[in-house]
Amino acid sequence: MRRSAVAAALVASVVAQTTITDDASVASSKSFDYIIAGGGLTGLTVANKLSAAGKTVLVVEAGPNSEDVTSVNVATARGGITAAECNWKYDALGDDGSALGWQIDSGRCLGGSSSINGMVWFHPTKPEMDALKNLGNKGWDWNSLYPYMKAVEHNHLPNDAQRADGANVDQGLHGYSGPVNVSFPDAMRIPDAQRLYKAAMPLVFEGLKLSDDLSDRDNSAMASTSWTIWNDESSGTDVVRRSSAAHAFLYAEDQQRSTLTVLYNHKVLSVTFDSKIKATGIQFGPSDGGSIMTASAKKEVLLASGSLQTPPILERSGVGDADILEQFGIDALVDLPAVGRNLQDQPGTGASALVNDANATNTELIDNINLFAPVISLVNMDELFGSNSSAKGAALTKSINAKAQAAVDAGTMVSKKSAQAVFGAQANLIVRNKMPIAEVVGESYPSVMTSVFWPLLPFSRGHVHIASSDPFASPAITPRLLSDDFDVSVAISVAKKAQSMFTTEPFAPVISTAYVDLPEGASDDDWEAWYKKTAYAASHWLGSSSMLPREYGGVVNNKLQVYGTKNLRVIDASILPMPITSHTMPAAYAIAQKAADIILGKDKSVN
């Protein structure tokens, strides 16, 4: 029980308390209506909804409880979150299986990645969500997903001082009664730098315009962003607090449930099946290894371990590519080679410029506060490629077959048909809908201006698979960032333009050295080499349990059921088959709420 006896006694009638514990006896050999693997963003949201409907639910989370961890709770302290507190820190691997030298951040505690993430909040667009339906997923489109994005949000409108420093909200687009707080920090960060970025970006990316709100866009946009935070002024110290899925759906006083049991520090190893491949429960054990226990699910097992861990659970359970499973002595109950493929993320890096001495002490310009990305620009191909845009678009459309073949050859897509469908839909968004293809973040760090950027709709794909017969072992994650030539050309262009911003007005007068990273006049080959050397994952992993028709490389159908099985669904962000042009939280919250409605039989649109 999470509340002390004293606290509980102070409440007149404590009817329901969620059980949150690392004592496995609450789950071992016990039975629940639903078992959820993973207590991250989607797992806790679905657990909340199902337990509210009176179902008994067990959530098993590999990481610890982070309820009292200051660096998790205080938004501006996120730089201090340690691996033990909440981060898997996986090694990124190359094609030959060797470590690439950078780590993959991924939340490993209650709340999952929502407990460590950058908290940036803005919506994806209608064409992107409608593309899900066009790919064969009945009931999945903007009209069915957007209400869930609104439902989860409690937007706190900016005050006059915040507005004067760049905050703005298109009020009709947001929700005001959900559990997740969305706000601008009070006071706003680095307002002088925000003004400079907003003035400079359109000079470098011609055609880009200042927007009211990043959620309010047909395609490209530039605005100050809001975050999943709230300004806690109660202590008088103006603390900016994180509003994670755990805060919103698990810890909140008004969200307690006697029907919900959350076991942390325990890892789900596999799903158990009966002879008809109907899921009957899970095998789990202490996260650092030990004896293996079981729990049974009267209704269903729901996988919510995220894009990097849901596929390995499927593989250990006998659902995956039979050839891969065989290498580790696992019998294939369902030969489903799409499991773990189509893995994708955006390749990020940044360019920095030194601020001159006269301006370096201005905290309205540089504040050394870690609240990522005060100004965000989403740039489309016209703004990035200028007069070369239409030629680039035509070449992209023509290259889809070759891209599909290359992905099949690299083992990242299951078939040419699958890759053509997904890449074709993506190219359509880029060329026809003019969706943004690069994100540029205006930031500052001590003594430098930094613009962080990444291609937004990359075609590069990777894979994640089990790599050991030890059920407790980490999976092998092979991101293959920037393995596609279109992605590389986007990366080079955005990097060069972002860097050039610092050499021209209005930045030039506050900058002393504009080329911290590369010499002036570096060639495209130099930029490419630099980008590849410095790139890391933007942490928006998707795709590895794609929702698509089975013949198009799907792992789950439009009801999120794993092909070839019964009573088993994937309910996390890994079901999205393509990258999206917003950060992933709003879509992930929408997936989770829709999943709960599908499971409870409330969503008829998927039938």
Ligand X SMILES: Cc1cc2nc3c(=O)[nH]c(=O)nc-3n(C[C@H](O)[C@H](O)[C@H](O)COP(=O)(O)OP(=O)(O)OC[C@H]3O[C@@H](n4cnc5c(N)ncnc54)[C@H](O)[C@@H]3O)c2cc1C
Could you tell me the two tokens for 598?
A: 């599908």
Q: How far is CA 23 from CA 1, 2, 60, 88, 417, in A?
A: 11, 13, 11, 22, 47
Picking from 151, 152, 163, 178, the residue whose alpha carbon sits closest to that of residue 223 is 163
**Nearest-approach distance from CB 316 to ligand NAG, in angstroms:** 34
420 scored as a contact of ligand NAG (CB under 6 A): no
Instruction: Establish if 181 lies at the interface with ligand NAG (CB under 6 A).
Output: yes
Binding mask 444-483 for ligand NAG (x = CB under 6 A): ----------------------------------------
Regarding 385 and contact with ligand NAG (CB under 6 A), the answer is yes
Site for ligand X, rule CB under 6 A: 37-43, 60-63, 105-108, 112-114, 116-120, 267-268, 304-306, 309, 313, 539-540, 572-573, 583-585, 588
Three-class secondary structure of residue 221 per DSSP: strand
Choose the contact partner of 385 out of ligand NAG, ligand X, none; CB within 5 to 8 A by kind. Answer: ligand NAG
For ligand NAG, the closer of residues 391 and 402 by Cβ is 391
| Continuous segment of H or E residues that includes residue 280 | strand 279-286
Cβ at position 510, least distance to ligand NAG in Å = 5
54 among the known binding-site residues?
no
547 a known binding residue?
A: no
Q: How far is the CB of 306 from ligand X (least distance, A)?
A: 3
Helix (H, G, I), strand (E, B) or coil at 157: coil
Q: Which residue of this chain has its Cβ atom nearest to ligand NAG in the complex?
A: 386
Residue in 252, 395, 402, 529 binding ligand NAG, rule: CB under 6 A: 252
Give 187 or 358: the residue with its C-beta nearer to ligand NAG: 358
Site for ligand NAG contains 424 (CB under 6 A): no
* Cα 532 from chain centre: 22
For 94-218, where are the alpha helices, taking DSSP H only? 126-134, 142-151, 160-164, 191-204
Q: What's the helix, strand, coil split of the chain in %, to 5?
A: 35, 25, 45
Q: Choose from ligand NAG, ligand X, none: what does 181 bind? Cβ within 5-8 Å by kind.
A: ligand NAG
Question: Quick check: 161 binds ligand NAG (CB under 6 A)?
Answer: no
d(CA 582, CA 122): 6
Hey, which residues are catalytic here?
540, 583
Return the C-alpha torsion angle 425, 114, 367, 379, nearest 10: 10
Sign of torsion, CA 129 133 137 143?
Answer: positive
Alpha-carbon gap, residue 578 to 136, rounded angstroms: 13
Closer by beta carbon to ligand NAG, 7 or else 252: 252
Question: Please, what is the minimum distance in Å from the beta carbon of residue 438 to ligand X?
Answer: 17
Rounded least distance, CB 331 to ligand X, Å: 20
Backbone phi and psi for residue 161, each to the nearest 5 degrees, phi listed first: -65, -40
Say if residues 439 and 350 touch (Cβ distance below 8 Å): no
Closest to ligand NAG by CB, 10 or 99: 10
Using CB under 6 A, list all residues that contact ligand NAG.
Answer: 179, 181, 192, 230, 243, 247-248, 252, 358-359, 362, 365, 385-388, 510
Q: Annotated binding site for FAD: which residue ranges? A: 117-120, 268
